[in-house]
A = this chain, B = another copy of it.
Amino acid sequence: MRHAPLNTRADAAAVPGGTVADLGERDLIARIQERLPPASRALLVGIGDDAAVLEPPRGRLEVLTTDGLVEGIHFDRRFSTPFDIGWKALAVNLSDIAAMGAAPAAALLSLALPESMGIDALDGLIDGFLSLAGESRVGLAGGNVTRSPGPLVVDVTVTGSVRRRDVLRRNGARPGDGVFVTGSIGAARAGLEFLMAGGSEISLDGMDACIERYCRPAPRYRIGALLGRVRAATACMDLSDGLADAARQVAEASGVGIRLTADALPVSEACRRWFDERGGDAIAAAAAGGDDYELLFTVPRKRTGRLRHVVQQARNVPITRIGEITAEKGAELIRNGSREPLPAGFVHF
């Protein structure tokens, strides 16, 4: 239902413009290089040598993460365009860098390409990756291209930097801290369920935005770096495995409890409608659903002024107080005046 799907082995012969099997490794790399914007001054050696060489910003720590998307596990080419896949492969890594309070700087892109993949699809994937890279000012420093006898695999590594005192870990939450979340939750899950239900036959207001959230998430790299820079938060984590999972992990790592308020959760309107119409529990689904690349973080009362600064700078991204850290351990949800355990998190493996 979206344009330019990857091509399966079966229809390889019909791919206009040819497949990646028509190109050698060097041609493939040249094709990627052609699409690159001018490199930043910090990138001293880019694609084309044995390894990349970067000038680290002085007096800062390095933050390093890697995450990958595997066809059939993390995406389905019936639902995601090549552009989406390239975009999302970088997005999930930027989200991890943001969750450390760091600013991203450079990325490596490692591709395992099925022979039957069209060259157009490869171009689309690179364009999606570079589109988000441009927006977030991340340079493509290097990578690797190989064949895959099975699924398309896109592995990305992102390096960033942070001042020593600005690092946001998961283990700094203290009783009394407020718990906050960026943006809204549940939209990606609703979007995916809609697509899997054969979405095109159903019409539901606002569902386009849910699909967009699933296919092309907007990682909070600006807010993450800002949270670090102004030192507003005591702990931070991204919601890649869902809000409930993040809340539980921050509480466990910090040796505290966490209590969220159901009414306060910023569940997207279309998501609420999707689950309500199916007789599902929208709150539980939104809290458990993965693929929300938002940030959960904790702020002590005395840093409210700093938080206000972040809220002002966050532009169109709302920041919502959803609960608080407690001395009593455990992770619970207050709903209609009674307590219930937070739903289980999303399991990726």
Contact = CB atoms under 8 A, between A and B. Distances in A.
Nearest to A72: B149
B50 A61 contact: no
A231 interface: no
Interface in A246-265: none
Contacts of A160: 51
Contact of A65 (B106, B112, B142): B142
A237 B49 CA distance: 8
Contacts of A71: 149
A143 B64 CA distance: 9
A148 interface: yes
Nearest to A168: B50
Contact of A64 (B52, B112, B149): B52
A87 to B, nearest CB: 18
- How many copies the complex holds: the figure is 2
Interface string A56-73: 100001111111101111
A45 interface: yes
Interface string A139-153: 001111111111101
B141 A24 contact: no
Contact of A53 (B53, B63, B157): B63
A7 B89 CA distance: 29
Given A45-B169, A155-B68, A50 B100 contact: yes
Contacts of A99: 50-51
Contact of A62 (B49, B54, B238): B54
Given A68-B144, A112-B153, A348-B146, A61 B54 contact: yes
A314 interface: no
A150 B148 CA distance: 9
A108 B64 contact: yes
Contacts of A51: 63-65, 96-97, 99-100, 102, 160
Interface in A103-127: 106, 108, 110, 112
Interface in A33-56: 44-45, 49-56
A174 interface: no
Nearest to A169: B49
Interface string A146-172: 111111010101011010000101100
A70 B146 CA distance: 8
Interface in A4-28: 23-25, 28
A49 B170 contact: yes
A129 to B, nearest CB: 14
A307 B66 CA distance: 38
A309 interface: no
A71 B28 CA distance: 21
A185 to B, nearest CB: 18
Given A24-B349, A150-B150, A238-B50, A106 B61 contact: no
A74 B153 CA distance: 15
A202 interface: no
Most B CB within 10 A of own CB, among A108, A150, A151, A347:
A150
9 contacts: A28-B349, A45-B100, A51-B64, A52-B65, A64-B142, A66-B155, A148-B153, A149-B150, A153-B155
